[in-house]
Amino acid sequence: MTRNRLTALAATAALAAGGGLITAAPASAAVTCASPLWTAQYFGNTAFSGTPKLTACDSAIAENYGSGDPAGVTLPKDNFSVRWSLTRDFGSGGPFRLSAATQDGMRVYVDGVRKIDLWKNVSTTARKTLDLTVPAGKHTLRVDYVAWTGVANAGFTYAPRTEATVDTVKPLAPAGLTAAYDRATARTTLRWTANKELDLAGYRVYRRLSPTQWAKVSGSSLLTSPSFVDAAPATGQTFLYEVRAVDKAGRESTGSLDVTAATVDRTGPAAPTGLTVTGDAWWATLAWQGTADVVKYEVYAASAATGPYELLGTTTTTSYRTDAPVNTARHYRVRALDALGNPSAYADVTGDGVDRTPPKSPVSLNSVVRAGYTDVYWQQPDGFFEDFDNGGSYRVYRSPGKTLDPAALTPVTCAEGSDQTSTGGGCHDLDMPEGTYVAYAVTAVDPAGNESALSAPLVVRTGDRVAPGPVTGVTAVPRADGVLVSWAASTEDDIERYTAWTGARQADGTVKWLSSTACREGTSDPLATLCGDLPDGETYVYAVVAEDLWGNALSPSDPKVSVVEATELDVRPSVTVTKDWSLGSTSHGTVIGGPTETGPSVSWRCDRTAECDSVEGYRISRWNAATKAYEPLHAGLLPVDTRAYTDTTAARGATHFYTLQAVRADGRVMGTHVWSCVFQDRV
């Protein structure tokens, strides 16, 4: 008898109506058996020929016909046959075991290739087991069974081998993964197509944020159905998911194709860290370290740690200043909010209201130094108003030398008239040492006695009433543009300027000092100056004195001052020209040499109408010492309406002599003007 067949025949009508797995139909009816059911064909012969007497769907091959024929079909009790076949997807394939038990004959085929052959009439059950590897994908199994005579039974199974030492084939990656995110529940529903592997143990679901590593989110146990609901953090971020299959040998597949789920943001930022409170008289300043994804912070305060807390305000920075009771405990908390208003946890701190905060240090120290006193000035940064108005002050310190020495500071007593305000002030120091270096520093002190750090130091060379010593190395060298007076630099450190004096030796040997303005300086040498007017061979005495920052200087008549004597060059022309210009006024410079001057210039007027009407033009000539003659500086005559001329060809460092002539048409000269100009090359 056939156990499967008896059950199938008893339930045929019900299964057919309800979509059951085991169905049977008469020979003439078409039967389609869904994989992995076997399609069973019953033949009344041993050659599997002709039309099957019955086609049925079997869930297994486990038949015991005894000495009769299969129930539900008319077959001879001997010499009949049954053919079972199925085509199914084996997934990734792998090692399988085929097991056959038969009386009488049985042959097993895989994709048409015979794998087991027990084809003989036997009186006892014959058995055969075969291990083989089935490739991935779809394959067809066929089992041919023949009952010749006597007892008839047939059994066949195929099953994957799941020993880890045998099964080295990973499952296929799951396919068809989808993700549906529900914003109301903040959950992601994942579904995928079930794997075809016969040795499938279950699935694992992984999640990550790009580019982080995958993390398993499906728990420690394998999923046995192709779906999963995940509650990813509601941070507004987009998560990636993949599913991996696991077989009974413990081997995990590669990941499925990734899917994404964009979450709703219901997660607040991290709580602020490092929250501190600093008391400053009537104020408390809260400060903390910021966190990511924050658009503002809320600041709360309460008189008791248990509350209730009052919202003081919000800020987009990582600090907050609020008024606070003096010497009274007050409790604060701060939390961060993101752009959607999601709050962080609170950070808490307690302040005691004690002012321990020193003011800011004064800045921008400056000074005015005179002989007998030094005025030190400074500015105070913002925030000292209330402190100053309620008893705050400044302290001025001084130490000797060019470097502020904290160990040698002396408090300075500021003299009367040293005005000070909340924004800065000054100190009139009458007690500083004269003629040396001191370093000043200033601090600000609040009413609670908190003193700021020292300001940046101000180094001052204090004033004195002693004139600098005599200047040495004075020399006087005659040149074509004057007398070059030079000297050695003073070794004293408070020199502001040098003054060169020109004097004339008197008959009694004394010197009459004429001027300190007849010498002109350039920019290239601070220890030299060019003195004199027209170099006409006169002898003069020269002296140089140093003046310090406080206006102290020796007189050129002081016996300690060194003097030098020099005779000018005589560069005057050897030809005398009579000056008879009476046509109008003239103007010219006698000494020039500034950096913007291009040469000696002259301007004139011609006011006498009768004479001026007969003038054809003007001629300007310059003395040439080589040819010993005045030579015109231009071709022909200057136009009659010309009233000025500049000699741009004149050389610096020389004295030039000129004539201006008004010339008639017949060549006669109506008037001659003569002048000279020292075009100095100043150092």
**Is the pLDDT confidence value at 512 over 90?**
yes
Pairing assessment for the beta strands 259-262 and 24-26 based on DSSP bridges? unpaired
Q: What is the phi-psi region of residue 496: left when phi exceeds 0, alpha when psi lies from -120 to 50, beta otherwise?
A: alpha
User: Exposure string (b/e) for 251-276, b if CB count within 10 Å is 16 or more?
Assistant: bebebbeebebebebebbbebbeebe
Alpha-carbon distance of 289 to 311, in angstroms, equals: 20
* pLDDT number for residue 382: 87
> Is 356 among the domain residues?
no
* Whether 680 contacts 482, CB under 8 Å: yes
Residues 613, 539 share a domain: no
Domain span at 639: 586-679
Split at pLDDT 50, 70, 90, the class of 515 is: confident
pLDDT tens digit string along 132-157? 999 999 999 999 999 999 999 999 99
Split at pLDDT 50, 70, 90, the class of 16 is: very low
We report the CATH number of the domain holding residue 226 as 2.60.40.10
Q: Which amino acid is at 57?
A: C
Instruction: Compute how many other C-beta atoms are within 10 angstroms of the C-beta atom of residue 53.
Output: 18
Residues 552, 611 share a domain: no
φ and ψ at residue 599, rounded to 5 degrees: 155, 170
**Is the pLDDT confidence value at 124 over 80?**
yes
Alpha-carbon distance of 104 to 126, in angstroms, equals: 8
* pLDDT number for residue 14: 31
Quick one: how far is CA 265 from the chain centroid? 28
Q: For the chain, percent helix, then strand, then coil, each to nearest 5?
A: 5, 45, 50
Alpha-carbon distance of 357 to 383, in angstroms, equals: 12
Residues 185, 137 share a domain: no
pLDDT tens digit string along 525-539? 999 999 999 999 999
Residues 151, 52 share a domain: yes
* pLDDT number for residue 494: 92
* Whether 336 contacts 344, CB under 8 Å: yes
C-alpha to C-alpha distances, 636 to 557, 581, 623, 632, nearest whole angstrom: 55, 20, 18, 9
Alpha-carbon distance of 420 to 590, in angstroms, equals: 55
**Is the pLDDT confidence value at 13 over 50?**
no
- Which of 206, 240, 262 corresponds to the end of one domain? 262
> Is 634 among the domain residues?
yes
> Is 469 among the domain residues?
no
* pLDDT number for residue 280: 85
CA dihedral 40, 46, 52, 58 (to 10 degrees): -10
User: Exposure string (b/e) for 329-340, b if CB count within 10 Å is 16 or more?
Assistant: ebbbbbbbbbee
- Which of 232, 262, 292 corresponds to the end of one domain? 262
Determine what percent of the chain is predicted with pLDDT higher than 90.
Answer: 90
Region 75-98 average pLDDT: 96
pLDDT tens digit string along 516-571? 888 999 999 999 999 999 999 999 999 999 999 999 999 999 999 999 999 999 99
Burial of 557 (0-12, 13-18, 19+ CB in 10 A): middle
Alpha-carbon distance of 265 to 263, in angstroms, equals: 6
> Is 574 among the domain residues?
no
Residues 668, 601 share a domain: yes
* pLDDT number for residue 29: 57
> Is 572 among the domain residues?
no
Residues 345, 281 share a domain: yes
* pLDDT number for residue 4: 42
> Is 394 among the domain residues?
yes
- Which of 329, 351, 373 corresponds to the end of one domain? 351
Instruction: Compute how many other C-beta atoms are within 10 angstroms of the C-beta atom of residue 50.
Output: 10
Residues 669, 593 share a domain: yes
C-alpha to C-alpha distances, 10 to 153, 159, 678, nearest whole angstrom: 21, 29, 143
Residues 138, 202 share a domain: no
Handedness of CA 507, 509, 512, 517 (dihedral sign): positive
Region 174-197 average pLDDT: 97
Split at pLDDT 50, 70, 90, the class of 25 is: low
Instruction: Compute how many other C-beta atoms are within 10 angstroms of the C-beta atom of residue 56.
Output: 28
> Is 430 among the domain residues?
yes
Alpha-carbon distance of 616 to 367, in angstroms, equals: 67
Residues 53, 127 share a domain: yes
Residues 423, 332 share a domain: no
Alpha-carbon distance of 255 to 243, in angstroms, equals: 6
Alpha-carbon distance of 168 to 179, in angstroms, equals: 31
**DSSP one-letter string for 270-336:** PPPEEEEEEEETTEEEEEEE--SS-SEEEEEEESSTT---EEEEEESSSEEEEE--TT--EEEEEEE
Q: Which amino acid is at 60?
A: A
φ and ψ at residue 476, rounded to 5 degrees: -135, 115
Q: What is the phi-psi region of residue 534: left when phi exceeds 0, alpha when psi lies from -120 to 50, beta otherwise?
A: beta
Instruction: Compute how many other C-beta atoms are within 10 angstroms of the C-beta atom of residue 369.
Output: 18
* Whether 101 contacts 126, CB under 8 Å: yes
Residues 11, 83 share a domain: yes
Angle ∠(591,592,596) on CA atoms, nearest 5: 175
We report the CATH number of the domain holding residue 88 as 2.60.120.260
Residues 100, 75 share a domain: yes
Task: Work out how many domains the chain is built from and give that number.
Answer: 6
Q: Could you identify the residue written with the tokens 């100043």?
A: 682
> Is 268 among the domain residues?
no
pLDDT tens digit string along 423-476? 999 999 999 999 999 999 999 999 999 999 999 999 999 999 999 999 999 999
N-term to C-term CA, the chain: 136
